Protein backbone atom coordinates (compact mmCIF):
# COMPACT_ATOMS: atom_id res chain seq x y z
CA UNK A 1 0.00 0.00 0.00
CA UNK A 2 1.36 3.34 -1.00
CA UNK A 3 1.58 6.09 1.60
CA UNK A 4 1.12 9.45 -0.02
CA UNK A 5 2.83 12.60 1.21
CA UNK A 6 -0.61 14.11 1.98
CA UNK A 7 -1.59 11.06 4.07
CA UNK A 8 1.68 11.10 5.95
CA UNK A 9 1.34 14.79 6.85
CA UNK A 10 -2.27 14.27 7.86
CA UNK A 11 -1.60 11.37 10.23
CA UNK A 12 1.50 13.09 11.57
CA UNK A 13 -0.45 16.24 12.32
CA UNK A 14 -3.14 14.27 14.14
CA UNK A 15 -0.54 12.48 16.23
CA UNK A 16 1.11 15.76 17.08
CA UNK A 17 -2.21 17.27 18.05
CA UNK A 18 -2.82 14.34 20.36
CA UNK A 19 0.49 14.92 22.11
CA UNK A 20 -0.18 18.62 22.49
CA UNK A 21 -3.67 17.97 23.85
CA UNK A 22 -2.42 15.68 26.63
CA UNK A 23 -3.07 17.18 30.08
CA UNK A 24 -0.09 19.03 31.53
CA UNK A 25 1.02 18.53 35.14
CA UNK A 26 1.66 21.80 36.98
CA UNK A 27 3.27 22.36 40.34
CA UNK A 28 0.85 23.60 42.99
CA UNK A 29 0.76 27.39 43.06
CA UNK A 30 2.41 29.08 46.04
CA UNK A 31 -0.08 30.30 48.65
CA UNK A 32 -1.15 33.93 48.66
CA UNK A 33 0.69 35.65 51.52
CA UNK A 34 -0.73 38.62 53.39
CA UNK A 35 0.54 40.65 56.31
CA UNK A 36 -2.07 42.06 58.70
CA UNK A 37 -1.41 44.34 61.66
CA UNK A 38 -3.91 44.84 64.47
CA UNK A 39 -4.17 47.85 66.76
CA UNK A 40 -4.02 45.44 69.73
CA UNK A 41 -0.99 44.29 71.65
CA UNK A 42 -0.23 40.60 71.95
CA UNK A 43 -2.28 39.92 75.11
CA UNK A 44 -5.41 41.55 73.73
CA UNK A 45 -4.77 40.35 70.19
CA UNK A 46 -5.09 36.76 71.46
CA UNK A 47 -8.80 37.49 71.77
CA UNK A 48 -9.73 40.24 69.33
CA UNK A 49 -7.87 39.05 66.23
CA UNK A 50 -5.75 35.90 66.45
CA UNK A 51 -8.62 33.34 66.63
CA UNK A 52 -10.06 34.63 63.34
CA UNK A 53 -6.69 34.58 61.59
CA UNK A 54 -5.88 31.08 62.86
CA UNK A 55 -9.29 29.90 61.71
CA UNK A 56 -8.88 31.45 58.26
CA UNK A 57 -5.41 29.98 57.74
CA UNK A 58 -6.58 26.52 58.75
CA UNK A 59 -9.63 26.49 56.46
CA UNK A 60 -7.71 28.09 53.57
CA UNK A 61 -5.62 24.89 53.62
CA UNK A 62 -2.54 26.25 51.93
CA UNK A 63 -4.27 28.47 49.38
CA UNK A 64 -3.66 31.61 51.41
CA UNK A 65 -1.92 32.57 54.64
CA UNK A 66 -2.31 35.74 56.71
CA UNK A 67 0.63 36.63 58.94
CA UNK A 68 -0.59 38.54 62.00
CA UNK A 69 1.35 41.35 63.65
CA UNK A 70 0.41 43.15 66.85
CA UNK A 71 0.40 46.84 67.81
CA UNK A 72 3.33 48.81 66.40
CA UNK A 73 5.28 45.71 65.32
CA UNK A 74 5.56 46.77 61.67
CA UNK A 75 4.43 50.40 61.78
CA UNK A 76 3.03 52.70 64.50
CA UNK A 77 -0.75 52.50 64.86
CA UNK A 78 -1.12 56.08 63.63
CA UNK A 79 0.55 55.03 60.35
CA UNK A 80 -1.54 51.90 59.73
CA UNK A 81 -3.72 53.50 57.09
CA UNK A 82 -0.83 54.88 55.01
CA UNK A 83 1.08 51.60 55.25
CA UNK A 84 -1.95 49.67 54.03
CA UNK A 85 -2.70 52.16 51.28
CA UNK A 86 0.83 52.01 49.88
CA UNK A 87 1.02 48.22 50.18
CA UNK A 88 3.60 47.97 52.97
CA UNK A 89 1.03 45.82 54.75
CA UNK A 90 -1.97 44.15 53.16
CA UNK A 91 -4.66 44.38 55.81
CA UNK A 92 -5.48 46.07 59.11
CA UNK A 93 -7.73 45.59 62.11
CA UNK A 94 -8.33 48.96 63.75
CA UNK A 95 -10.74 51.80 64.24
CA UNK A 96 -10.66 54.71 61.80
CA UNK A 97 -9.68 57.27 64.43
CA UNK A 98 -6.56 55.52 65.77
CA UNK A 99 -5.07 54.90 62.33
CA UNK A 100 -5.90 58.45 61.22
CA UNK A 101 -7.77 57.57 58.06
CA UNK A 102 -8.12 60.51 55.63
CA UNK A 103 -11.89 60.03 55.27
CA UNK A 104 -15.00 61.88 56.30
CA UNK A 105 -16.02 59.02 58.61
CA UNK A 106 -12.81 58.85 60.66
CA UNK A 107 -14.25 60.73 63.64
CA UNK A 108 -16.92 58.06 64.08
CA UNK A 109 -14.44 55.21 64.52
CA UNK A 110 -13.40 54.16 67.99
CA UNK A 111 -15.71 55.85 70.47
CA UNK A 112 -18.05 58.48 69.05
CA UNK A 113 -19.54 59.89 72.28
CA UNK A 114 -22.86 58.26 73.25
CA UNK A 115 -23.60 57.03 69.73
CA UNK A 116 -24.16 53.54 71.12
CA UNK A 117 -25.25 52.11 74.44
CA UNK A 118 -24.78 48.40 73.78
CA UNK A 119 -22.48 46.39 71.54
CA UNK A 120 -25.39 45.20 69.38
CA UNK A 121 -26.02 48.81 68.37
CA UNK A 122 -22.95 48.76 66.12
CA UNK A 123 -23.86 45.90 63.73
CA UNK A 124 -27.43 47.21 63.53
CA UNK A 125 -26.21 50.69 62.57
CA UNK A 126 -23.98 49.22 59.87
CA UNK A 127 -26.24 46.51 58.49
CA UNK A 128 -29.73 47.98 58.91
CA UNK A 129 -29.22 51.74 59.01
CA UNK A 130 -26.80 52.26 56.12
CA UNK A 131 -23.40 52.91 57.69
CA UNK A 132 -21.88 49.94 55.85
CA UNK A 133 -22.47 51.52 52.45
CA UNK A 134 -21.10 54.88 53.57
CA UNK A 135 -17.89 53.28 54.89
CA UNK A 136 -17.43 51.24 51.72
CA UNK A 137 -17.78 54.33 49.57
CA UNK A 138 -15.44 56.47 51.68
CA UNK A 139 -12.69 53.85 51.77
CA UNK A 140 -13.16 52.77 48.17
CA UNK A 141 -12.33 56.32 47.13
CA UNK A 142 -8.89 56.07 48.76
CA UNK A 143 -7.89 52.59 47.59
CA UNK A 144 -9.03 50.60 50.60
CA UNK A 145 -11.51 47.73 50.84
CA UNK A 146 -13.70 48.00 53.92
CA UNK A 147 -14.35 44.36 54.79
CA UNK A 148 -16.52 44.55 57.89
CA UNK A 149 -17.34 46.49 61.07
CA UNK A 150 -17.97 45.19 64.55
CA UNK A 151 -18.32 46.19 68.19
CA UNK A 152 -15.76 45.94 70.96
CA UNK A 153 -16.07 47.01 74.61
CA UNK A 154 -17.59 50.17 76.13
CA UNK A 155 -15.42 53.18 77.02
CA UNK A 156 -14.75 53.73 80.73
CA UNK A 157 -12.14 55.57 82.75
CA UNK A 158 -9.60 53.58 84.75
CA UNK A 159 -7.62 55.94 86.98
CA UNK A 160 -5.11 56.10 89.79
CA UNK A 161 -7.30 58.54 91.78
CA UNK A 162 -11.05 58.08 92.42
CA UNK A 163 -13.50 59.88 90.11
CA UNK A 164 -16.77 60.74 91.88
CA UNK A 165 -17.71 63.96 90.06
CA UNK A 166 -16.95 65.78 86.82
CA UNK A 167 -14.67 68.10 88.81
CA UNK A 168 -12.41 65.13 89.56
CA UNK A 169 -11.63 64.83 85.83
CA UNK A 170 -10.15 68.30 85.66
CA UNK A 171 -6.47 68.23 84.77
CA UNK A 172 -6.27 64.44 84.48
CA UNK A 173 -3.83 63.29 81.78
CA UNK A 174 -5.70 60.51 80.04
CA UNK A 175 -4.78 58.16 77.23
CA UNK A 176 -7.74 58.07 74.85
CA UNK A 177 -8.79 58.23 71.21
CA UNK A 178 -8.47 61.48 69.22
CA UNK A 179 -12.21 62.13 68.87
CA UNK A 180 -13.00 61.04 72.43
CA UNK A 181 -10.21 63.31 73.64
CA UNK A 182 -11.61 66.21 71.67
CA UNK A 183 -14.97 65.69 73.39
CA UNK A 184 -13.60 65.12 76.90
CA UNK A 185 -11.32 68.18 76.80
CA UNK A 186 -14.30 70.41 77.63
CA UNK A 187 -14.46 68.71 81.04
CA UNK A 188 -10.83 69.44 81.82
CA UNK A 189 -9.40 66.15 80.63
CA UNK A 190 -5.93 66.44 79.06
CA UNK A 191 -5.94 63.91 76.15
CA UNK A 192 -2.67 62.06 75.64
CA UNK A 193 -1.50 60.10 72.59
CA UNK A 194 1.17 57.45 73.22
CA UNK A 195 2.12 54.11 71.66
CA UNK A 196 -0.25 51.43 72.94
CA UNK A 197 2.59 49.33 74.36
CA UNK A 198 3.89 52.28 76.45
CA UNK A 199 0.69 52.87 78.41
CA UNK A 200 1.40 50.62 81.39
CA UNK A 201 4.80 52.19 82.02
CA UNK A 202 3.37 55.70 81.54
CA UNK A 203 0.80 54.98 84.25
CA UNK A 204 3.54 53.72 86.58
CA UNK A 205 5.81 56.71 86.02
CA UNK A 206 3.05 59.30 86.40
CA UNK A 207 3.09 60.45 82.80
CA UNK A 208 -0.56 59.37 82.72
CA UNK A 209 -3.24 59.69 85.39
CA UNK A 210 -5.59 57.27 83.69
CA UNK A 211 -7.04 55.85 80.53
CA UNK A 212 -10.36 56.18 78.70
CA UNK A 213 -9.64 53.53 76.11
CA UNK A 214 -11.62 50.44 77.00
CA UNK A 215 -13.87 48.57 79.37
CA UNK A 216 -12.82 46.61 82.44
CA UNK A 217 -12.18 43.36 80.52
CA UNK A 218 -9.37 44.97 78.59
CA UNK A 219 -8.00 46.65 81.72
CA UNK A 220 -7.49 43.23 83.27
CA UNK A 221 -6.38 41.46 80.08
CA UNK A 222 -3.56 43.84 79.16
CA UNK A 223 -2.32 44.67 82.66
CA UNK A 224 -3.73 48.15 83.14
CA UNK A 225 -5.70 46.99 86.18
CA UNK A 226 -2.32 46.36 87.83
CA UNK A 227 -1.29 50.02 87.60
CA UNK A 228 -4.62 51.79 88.21
CA UNK A 229 -6.89 51.61 91.26
CA UNK A 230 -10.35 52.83 90.23
CA UNK A 231 -12.87 52.09 87.51
CA UNK A 232 -15.59 54.65 86.67
CA UNK A 233 -18.90 52.92 85.92
CA UNK A 234 -20.14 55.84 83.80
CA UNK A 235 -19.08 55.50 80.17
CA UNK A 236 -18.99 57.79 77.16
CA UNK A 237 -19.89 55.04 74.69
CA UNK A 238 -21.46 51.62 74.82
CA UNK A 239 -19.16 50.07 72.23
CA UNK A 240 -15.98 50.78 70.32
CA UNK A 241 -16.43 50.60 66.55
CA UNK A 242 -13.62 48.69 64.85
CA UNK A 243 -13.09 47.27 61.39
CA UNK A 244 -11.16 44.94 59.13
CA UNK A 245 -9.67 46.67 56.09
CA UNK A 246 -7.48 45.62 53.15
CA UNK A 247 -5.49 47.23 50.37
CA UNK A 248 -8.01 47.25 47.49
CA UNK A 249 -5.56 45.99 44.86
CA UNK A 250 -4.50 43.07 47.04
CA UNK A 251 -8.14 42.31 47.85
CA UNK A 252 -9.02 42.18 44.16
CA UNK A 253 -6.27 39.62 43.55
CA UNK A 254 -7.83 37.16 46.01
CA UNK A 255 -10.16 34.47 44.57
CA UNK A 256 -13.83 34.93 45.44
CA UNK A 257 -13.98 31.83 47.63
CA UNK A 258 -11.15 33.15 49.82
CA UNK A 259 -12.73 36.60 50.01
CA UNK A 260 -15.90 34.95 51.29
CA UNK A 261 -13.92 32.85 53.76
CA UNK A 262 -12.20 35.96 55.07
CA UNK A 263 -15.54 37.72 55.53
CA UNK A 264 -17.01 34.74 57.37
CA UNK A 265 -14.01 34.42 59.69
CA UNK A 266 -14.07 38.13 60.48
CA UNK A 267 -17.79 38.02 61.22
CA UNK A 268 -17.08 35.12 63.59
CA UNK A 269 -14.47 37.36 65.22
CA UNK A 270 -17.09 40.06 65.76
CA UNK A 271 -19.43 37.51 67.34
CA UNK A 272 -16.69 36.21 69.64
CA UNK A 273 -16.08 39.71 70.99
CA UNK A 274 -19.78 40.27 71.52
CA UNK A 275 -19.98 37.65 74.25
CA UNK A 276 -16.36 37.82 75.46
CA UNK A 277 -16.63 41.50 76.34
CA UNK A 278 -20.29 41.40 77.44
CA UNK A 279 -19.70 38.61 79.95
CA UNK A 280 -16.30 39.89 81.00
CA UNK A 281 -17.50 43.40 81.77
CA UNK A 282 -20.14 42.16 84.23
CA UNK A 283 -18.03 39.44 85.81
CA UNK A 284 -15.02 41.64 86.49
CA UNK A 285 -17.12 44.44 87.96
CA UNK A 286 -18.58 41.97 90.44
CA UNK A 287 -15.70 39.54 90.98
CA UNK A 288 -12.57 41.37 89.81
CA UNK A 289 -10.20 41.91 92.76
CA UNK A 290 -8.08 44.77 91.44
CA UNK A 291 -10.25 47.83 90.67
CA UNK A 292 -12.60 49.69 92.98
CA UNK A 293 -15.78 50.93 91.30
CA UNK A 294 -16.73 54.62 91.47
CA UNK A 295 -19.64 56.52 89.90
CA UNK A 296 -20.60 60.06 88.98
CA UNK A 297 -24.27 60.73 89.96
CA UNK A 298 -26.76 60.20 87.13
CA UNK A 299 -28.03 63.79 87.21
CA UNK A 300 -24.51 65.15 86.80
CA UNK A 301 -23.63 62.60 84.11
CA UNK A 302 -26.76 63.60 82.18
CA UNK A 303 -25.08 66.94 81.46
CA UNK A 304 -22.29 65.03 79.71
CA UNK A 305 -24.86 63.26 77.53
CA UNK A 306 -26.41 66.61 76.67
CA UNK A 307 -22.99 67.93 75.65
CA UNK A 308 -22.61 64.90 73.40
CA UNK A 309 -25.66 65.93 71.39
CA UNK A 310 -24.08 69.37 70.92
CA UNK A 311 -20.85 67.64 69.87
CA UNK A 312 -22.76 65.61 67.27
CA UNK A 313 -24.09 68.84 65.73
CA UNK A 314 -20.60 70.33 65.75
CA UNK A 315 -19.29 67.33 63.82
CA UNK A 316 -22.28 67.33 61.43
CA UNK A 317 -21.53 70.92 60.43
CA UNK A 318 -18.12 69.89 59.08
CA UNK A 319 -19.27 68.06 55.93
CA UNK A 320 -22.23 66.49 54.12
CA UNK A 321 -21.00 62.96 54.80
CA UNK A 322 -20.56 63.65 58.51
CA UNK A 323 -24.02 65.21 58.62
CA UNK A 324 -25.46 62.08 57.01
CA UNK A 325 -23.82 59.80 59.58
CA UNK A 326 -24.92 61.99 62.49
CA UNK A 327 -28.48 61.96 61.16
CA UNK A 328 -28.41 58.14 61.09
CA UNK A 329 -27.03 58.03 64.65
CA UNK A 330 -29.77 60.40 65.84
CA UNK A 331 -32.51 58.47 64.06
CA UNK A 332 -31.29 55.17 65.46
CA UNK A 333 -31.07 56.42 69.03
CA UNK A 334 -34.52 57.98 68.81
CA UNK A 335 -35.94 54.65 67.66
CA UNK A 336 -34.21 52.84 70.52
CA UNK A 337 -35.49 55.35 73.07
CA UNK A 338 -39.07 55.04 71.79
CA UNK A 339 -38.82 51.25 71.73
CA UNK A 340 -38.11 51.28 75.45
CA UNK A 341 -37.09 48.19 77.39
CA UNK A 342 -34.91 46.24 76.75
CA UNK A 343 -33.48 48.57 74.10
CA UNK A 344 -33.20 51.62 76.34
CA UNK A 345 -33.88 52.29 80.01
CA UNK A 346 -34.92 55.71 81.15
Taking only the tens place, the pLDDT of each residue in 213-223 is 999 999 999 99
> pLDDT digits over 234-253, tens only?
999 999 999 999 999 999 99
For residue range 242-299, list pLDDT tens digits in order: 999 999 999 999 999 999 999 999 999 999 999 999 999 999 999 999 999 999 999 9
Measured from the Cβ of residue 295, the count of other Cβ atoms closer than 10 Å reads 14
Question: Across residues 142-169, what is the average pLDDT?
Answer: 98
Its pTM stands at 0.89
Reported confidence tier of residue 197, pLDDT bands at 50, 70, 90: confident
CA atoms within 13 A on the CB side of 246: 18
The per-residue pLDDT for range 28-81, each reduced to its tens digit, is: 578 999 999 999 999 999 999 999 999 999 999 999 999 999 999 999 999 999
Residues whose CB falls within 8 Å of the CB of residue 113, separated by 6 or more in sequence, listed in order = 179, 180, 183, 236, 237, 308, 311, 312
Domains of the chain are 32-153+239-284 (3.40.190.170), 155-238+294-339 (3.40.190.170)
In degrees to the nearest 10, what's the CA dihedral of 78, 228, 208, 217?
Answer: 20
Question: Which pLDDT band holds residue 145 (cuts at 50, 70, 90)?
Answer: very high
Q: Tell me the residue length of the chain.
A: 346
**DSSP letters spanning 105-165:** TGGGSB--TTS-SSTTHHHHHHHTSSHHHHHHHHHHTTTEEEEEEEE---EEEEESS---S
Q: Which spans in 185-237 are helix H? A: 199-205, 216-222
Q: Mean of the pLDDT values across residues 102-113? A: 96
Mean pLDDT on 99-117? 96
pLDDT in tens, 12-21: 444 444 444 4
Amino acid sequence: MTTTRRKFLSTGALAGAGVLAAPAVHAQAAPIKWRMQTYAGAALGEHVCKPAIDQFNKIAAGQMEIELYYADQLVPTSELFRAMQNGTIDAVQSDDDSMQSPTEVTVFGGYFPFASRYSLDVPVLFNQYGLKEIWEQEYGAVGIQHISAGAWDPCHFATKDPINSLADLDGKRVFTFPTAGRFLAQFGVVPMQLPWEDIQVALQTGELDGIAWSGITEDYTVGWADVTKYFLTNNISGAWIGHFFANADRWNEVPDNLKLLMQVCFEQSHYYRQWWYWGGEADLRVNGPKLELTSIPDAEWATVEEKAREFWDEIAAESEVKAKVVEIVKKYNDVMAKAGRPYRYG
